[in-house]
Amino acid sequence: MGFLFDSFEGWKKYSDTNKVSLVQAVIDYEIEQKGRTEERIWEGLGQAWEVMKDAVQTGLVEDMTSRSGMINNGAKKVYNHKVTVLSKEFQNLISRALAAKEVNSCMGRIVAAPTAGASGIMPGVLYTLQEIHDVPDKKILEAMLLAAGIVLIMEQKASIAGAVGGCQAETGTAAAMGSGAIVYCLDGDTTQVFNAVAITIQCMLGLVCDPVAGLVEIPCVVRNASAAAIANSSAQIALANVSSVIPVDEVVEAMGEIGSSMETRYKETALGGLAATKTGKAISKRVLIRDIEILPDES
């Protein structure tokens, strides 16, 4: 097996030629190129799934106030609010994505999927999907492997880091993983999975990385919620056999092209966008002064 995950087309070709599923192709890759045993792969996935669920629950129960004060128990407020915009399921989805990401902003334990900044999306999506559709744990773990295949390709063809490709690369990739996972769990075929990924990325293209005060809090936490919503809307569209028109590999290449032409101030430097607003700068100054004040006096 050469390096398999450099394109979606190549992934499908391997799968068709060897008469294996997309998920089995990821397992083959992990065994052959990472030297892992199949038993260890499932064990690691099971552990990751437990951490994801734990992050959702922690964020909805424990105090989630970040050191900067910018994050202040938003997930719980959303979860318990009596007005539901669409349905209780949608409210749960949004609050769970917020919850797991708030745990990260408050220095708790999360799964970087694919990064810490985007760590609320997969937990919010998978937790809610399992609850609504009674998806067995084994299928959830398979969907996580499928998502791993998606992220391997996106890392190769574009980027998964905000510092390299903007927020489209972080929350956009996580949303693509989530939509592919949803379609897989709801028995979509390869075309539908790839359409879901392509449609999701089309909705996330161009998103800049502009964290206020350089902290992964604002706008990161709310972007996890919107990315979880986009993962679901894209899956809904793809499952109905609506085409992305632009093939998934080309969509990912477009993401890479946009990322490489994005100005540095939109790549996690906290020099542009929301970070450069009047309020963003004032928060940054306050956080910096407070951090200097709590530095140990070495005189």
Phi, psi of 44 (to 5 degrees): -65, -40
Minimal distance in Å, beta carbon 67 to ligand SF4?
Answer: 16
Q: Is 38 exposed, middle or buried (0-12, 13-18, 19+ CB in 10 A)?
A: exposed
Q: Which residue is at the shortest CB distance from ligand SF4?
A: 162
Minimal distance in Å, beta carbon 256 to ligand SF4?
Answer: 15
Q: Rg for the chain (alpha carbons), in Å? A: 19
Minimal distance in Å, beta carbon 80 to ligand SF4?
Answer: 25
Q: Which of 133, 216, 115 is nearest to 175 (CA)?
A: 115
Q: How many residues are present in the chain? A: 299
Residues that bind ligand SF4 (CB under 6 A): 117-118, 162, 167, 170-171, 209-211, 216, 219-220, 223, 268
- Residue number, 249 or 268, with CB nearest to ligand SF4: 268
- Residue number, 142 or 268, with CB nearest to ligand SF4: 268
Minimal distance in Å, beta carbon 87 to ligand SF4?
Answer: 26
- Residue number, 118 or 147, with CB nearest to ligand SF4: 118
Question: Is residue 143 within 8 Å of residue 185, measured between CB atoms?
Answer: yes
Evaluated on CA atoms 262, 264, 269, 275, the torsion sign reads negative
- Residue number, 100 or 135, with CB nearest to ligand SF4: 100
Minimal distance in Å, beta carbon 289 to ligand SF4?
Answer: 22
| Residue 21 vs residues 125, 138, 179, 199: alpha-carbon distances, Å | 22, 15, 18, 22
- Residue number, 162 or 188, with CB nearest to ligand SF4: 162
